[in-house]
Structure 1
């Protein structure tokens, strides 16, 4: 659907070889104009969701923070600022003035708390992954087949999706010390963005919550369209291309028996009903991303080509 939208946009703006030079010049001019009328964003909140490619994306934010000497709200314990528990003052390293420029660690989204640490007008950014692929990654990383009592084989996902409700009592994990329930198979993306696992069946309230998230987040990237997302990020933040070049780390390309498993339509339907809030979340922000793309498709196409060449060069240099 979205590719056809992109192709339609391309066809509308089809130009001849004679016009290509003029197009490229005007596109470059627009980039110069944008840079002239905006200042680089040096304050931001990036909510690092789980198993969504954030180990790749966070390098962009870490590098920018390092080069620009930003004051990052850092966790006391490595990696986890506030997850799966609500934020507490003892969880992070305090600055003398309690003023921070950036957040980029695992953190259960809590806008009320964040407003006590950051200005209200800064960009809020996160990234999501298609829920079925996310489930497979979750099951591998957290060893969920063992938790569910399913053989960890190529059929693990298939066996689970035949009847997810059968495993409900096994898939939920309760953290006694913070009174929080987490389910690695059911709405884990929305959990990272502040939606309680106990409200998995309350879709009406969940829909209202996602609508609110859509107002609060400036950009929600989609892993499947990472290059497009990064180009939009660059334009949103008014950063230079060099600031957003990334290298996908080979060590993160894990292999497991069911990684390539393609679910049947019935299994996908079961998963969509089981993890309905995550699908609602993903569908909302996938559409939002493509609306943003559609409004600036020609500039985006040019920048994607330029960005891809830049990234390929960076990858080559990294491997030397």
Structure 2
């Protein structure tokens, strides 16, 4: 009977179905062909018993190289027509604790299967579980809290009252409580930002029982926690956890700053910030230990080999995609659609693509340097295009 009902579709509906198939075919990301050719002879064999994980939860923390991780997930999912749990606009309700209703179309269709959720949100496990299947892999990424604080000051100086008042990070670090009001909007960027992103109370006084119970809950929730300082080693561990080919972990750094806009912290400021961001340091210290325990289980020789292979694939992609060996300032990048936005006082690096790129190679190279806001818009449009109208959903 279902086939007969399909046959009763109007010509308009049949034409819409045809267009959907065309869109899926023409918009499917074909970069895998390029990956395979560039990675030939450098691929890392996977355990034949493992199957690629198709349900992934990435808690995207701030100022931790998470934009580069996001690009990897976007490319992998788009290439395989996986379904993203996307926001209505540019984040999933942040800085509010995540709610399932912040996912576009969730309330309209709560039973819809999503493969990947990866945009900025403030972690709230019960609500995430309403959206993502039980077998999902959960992971996140952390960074040295001093570096997070320095980067946050640069990016969010103009929107964070505590930073605006202090003028400089050294001055803020000298007397943070003088400039900081817990109730002021956007001041969460100024204290224990990673703890906040992971759903904790970033203004808590560091009660040992609260800190330990929160860390234990996070250890239960997340299958893997990456470290920004050891990015390539992190990606090798992620590849193993997801059972994805190493070629899919290739990347160019995104949303990174020019070296001139990075201001090293004075030792005295670092010491004071360590006290101010004590919750972030508890978080980072705990997962730093677990990270290196996982590296040890992976094997030092194996890790060194696989990191070298990942870097060789990235080197080949750089030679194929980029004009010059290094990122450029945003003003130099062309065309305009791949130019990264600027934030606060931060000067963001971009890339100049080779002008002779064509076909799938150009498609892959463009996506590898696409700013996250533009890539998100592309995915939002794509998923909207392949959605059937209500009357057709009822017929099919």
TM range (shorter): 0.7 to 0.9
RMSD: 2.3
Decide whether the 8 Å contact of 2:85 with 2:116 is kept in 1: yes
Match of residue 66 from structure 2: 54
Decide whether the 8 Å contact of 2:166 with 2:172 is kept in 1: no
Matched, 1:284 2:296: no
Decide whether the 8 Å contact of 1:138 with 1:144 is kept in 2: no
- Contiguous gaps of at least 5 residues in structure 1: 1-27, 176-180
> Hey, what's the Cα distance between the residues in 2 that align with 1:219 and 1:69?
25
Matched, 1:107 2:112: no
SS in 1 for 2:301: helix
Matched, 1:124 2:134: no
Alignment of 1:240-319 (within 5 A): 240-249=245-254, 252-254=256-258, 259-264=262-267, 266-296=268-298, 297-319=300-322
**TM-score, normalised via structure 1 length:** 0.80
Aligned CA distance change for structure 1 residues 123 and 200 (closer, same or farther; 3 Å): farther
Q: How far off its partner does 1:315 sit?
A: 1.5
Bigger CA drift: 48-57 or 58-67?
Answer: 48-57
Alignment of 1:164-313 (within 5 A): 164-169=176-181, 172-175=182-185, 182-249=187-254, 252-254=256-258, 259-264=262-267, 266-296=268-298, 297-313=300-316
Deviations 1:172-224 (A, max 9, x none): 4545xxxxx85222111010000023424434302210121012111111111
Q: How far off its partner does 1:108 sit?
A: 0.7
SS in 1 for 2:92: strand
Decide whether the 8 Å contact of 2:63 with 2:151 is kept in 1: yes
Counterpart of 2:95 (choices 80, 84, 95) is 84
Matched, 1:157 2:169: yes
> Hey, what's the Cα distance between the residues in 1 that align with 2:215 and 2:252?
31
SS in 2 for 1:197: coil
Q: How far off its partner does 1:277 sit?
A: 0.5
Alignment of 1:35-74 (within 5 A): 35-74=47-86
Q: How far off its partner does 1:94 sit?
A: 1.5
SS in 2 for 1:125: strand
> Hey, what's the Cα distance between the residues in 2 that align with 1:182 and 1:121?
35
Decide whether the 8 Å contact of 1:83 with 1:108 is kept in 2: yes
- Contiguous gaps of at least 5 residues in structure 2: 1-40, 323-353, 355-396
Decide whether the 8 Å contact of 2:142 with 2:284 is kept in 1: yes
> Hey, what's the Cα distance between the residues in 1 that align with 2:313 and 2:191?
38
> Hey, what's the Cα distance between the residues in 1 that align with 2:56 and 2:140?
11
Aligned CA distance change for structure 1 residues 199 and 256 (closer, same or farther; 3 Å): farther
Aligned CA distance change for structure 1 residues 160 and 88 (closer, same or farther; 3 Å): same
**TM-score, normalised via structure 2 length:** 0.65
